[in-house]
Chain A
């Protein structure tokens, strides 16, 4: 087996008396897309921030390609829930700034590359707009273009769609789905279970700063017996898997049926078919 691309060993982070991460081991191969799921406060975002080097560890270590990554060394890129675009710069300037200042590219070359990146996320036409003149989904796509432009070898997505409505969520997820297909190594924290199920090759379930389940996405969603995960997934399904007809029966979808959650069968369906919710079409 090749040495892992990303190796996190016994990651521990405490703030005062609070344990945020309680000894997390994670190894990721090149090209893998790992979905991190779990309840709020389970340590998903902290794990990403520690891998990126934004939050200090109190124990353990992170290696990417055998080396400890430092913020800004070009190893790790991150896409944030709050986009974090710089409001005084246009979309194109947001993407080009690091190319010019960090990678020392000439102004024209940086601008050209920035426009190519914006084109890749479908926003070339809005290159001269400022963040305030863009929708949330467009802002997040600019943020993705900005991260891609400096070619990090590992990209972390920290709840990239958590502040977007369902429509904008879809446009952002489509971009991320496209990236996954190009063989980029990515860690994606998301509450979009359907997305994680269909895009991630592997899913990791965290709770209270520990990894409870780690395995191929399909089996984590469908077969894992871990009770905390079952409870987590069932509340999710209760929330999103409503019946189209209020009179239609819902309950048979809710418990973990022996065959697993039908949600997961959509994992096998081709990308772009939307949220793979298997709500039975009750012949109403």
Chain B
């Protein structure tokens, strides 16, 4: 098999897992990030302090170290995960920490009066978050969220070192076996770049959609 064909085959094998683990981590990270931001915004002070400490810890340690610790250190605390599960969990935690900061800024940017009016009218906290605060901040937090999502695409490459058979793992495997590093790394770079471009495009479309839905503008 030619190097080109081998590389393309490696991309085809690795890409679905890269996309899958990325989408799954973004989804879990968004949900967890919203929950963390809500708990910090509405919860009692000790909860806020505890979550702040956790966010700072995740942000203060390189992702490669976190992935290592979870996969190789996990078994010592009874967390014996497959590489893919460990990769998904590590990336989700990492994503949640950063996403939560974006949502925290979103909450902070909404005038308190919008919440006070809702509370006096009888809405409960869950309704206020779901029906007022999140839709209201959607448009302003989207660019920051999309930016993080793009960064996370590239962080999935790190999961190759805990033997997740994703894009970087499969393609660099070809490189090691054939010593055609220039060709394989170029293919790898192009693959990630394409993913990032598609994501950015989707984010722009989403932004217009949210603008239509929340501002009534085209």
Residues of A within 8 A of B (CB): 52, 54, 71-74, 76-78, 80, 82, 84-88, 90, 97-98, 101-103, 129-130, 132-133, 143, 146-147, 150
Contacts and interface: CB of A to CB of B under 8 A. Distances in A.
A55 B14 CA distance: 56
Interface residues of B, number: 22
Interface stretch (B72-80, B121-129, B144-152): B121-129
Contacts of A132: 215
Interface stretch (B101-109, B111-119, B169-177): B111-119
Contacts of B111: 82, 84
Interface stretch (B37-45, B130-138, B186-194): B130-138
Given A84-B113, A86-B114, A88-B215, A77 B120 contact: yes
A130 B113 contact: no
Contacts of B118: 86, 98
Contacts, number: 75
Contact of A78 (B117, B138, B214): B117
Nearest to A74: B122
Nearest to B127: A101
A30 to B, nearest CB: 20
B216 interface: yes
Contact of A102 (B122, B214, B215): B122
Given A86-B132, A88-B215, A90-B216, A72 B120 contact: yes
Nearest to A71: B119
B208 to A, nearest CB: 15
Nearest to B121: A98
A98 B122 contact: yes
Nearest 8 interchain pairs by C-beta: A102-B122, A98-B121, A88-B214, A84-B113, A84-B117, A72-B122, A71-B119, A88-B135
A54 to B, nearest CB: 5
16 contacts: A71-B116, A71-B119, A76-B120, A77-B120, A77-B121, A84-B117, A86-B114, A88-B138, A97-B132, A98-B118, A102-B122, A102-B127, A103-B122, A146-B117, A146-B121, A150-B121
A133 B116 contact: no
Most interface-central of A76, A80, A86 (chain B CB within 10 A): A86
Contacts of A130: 215-216
Nearest to B114: A84
A43 B124 CA distance: 28
Contacts of B131: 97, 101
Most interface-central of B113, B127, B213 (chain A CB within 10 A): B113
Nearest to A55: B116
Contacts of A103: 122
Contacts of B136: 86-88
Contacts of B127: 101-102
A130 to B, nearest CB: 5
Nearest to B126: A101
A86 B120 CA distance: 14
A52 B121 CA distance: 11
Nearest to A101: B127
A155 B216 CA distance: 31
Contact of A54 (B114, B116, B138, B215): B116
A117 B99 CA distance: 40
A101 B116 CA distance: 15
A150 B122 contact: yes
Interface string B81-99: 0000000000000000000
Contacts of B120: 52, 54, 71-72, 76-78
Contacts of B215: 87-88, 130, 132
A52 B122 CA distance: 12
A124 B165 CA distance: 61
Given A90-B216, A130-B215, A130-B216, A102 B123 contact: yes
Contacts of B124: 72
Nearest to A78: B120
Nearest to A80: B113
Nearest to B137: A88
A129 B214 CA distance: 12
A133 B216 CA distance: 10
A117 to B, nearest CB: 13
A152 to B, nearest CB: 8
A129 B124 CA distance: 26
A115 B107 CA distance: 30
Nearest to A102: B122
Most interface-central of A76, A80, A147 (chain B CB within 10 A): A80
Contacts of B123: 72, 97-98, 101-102
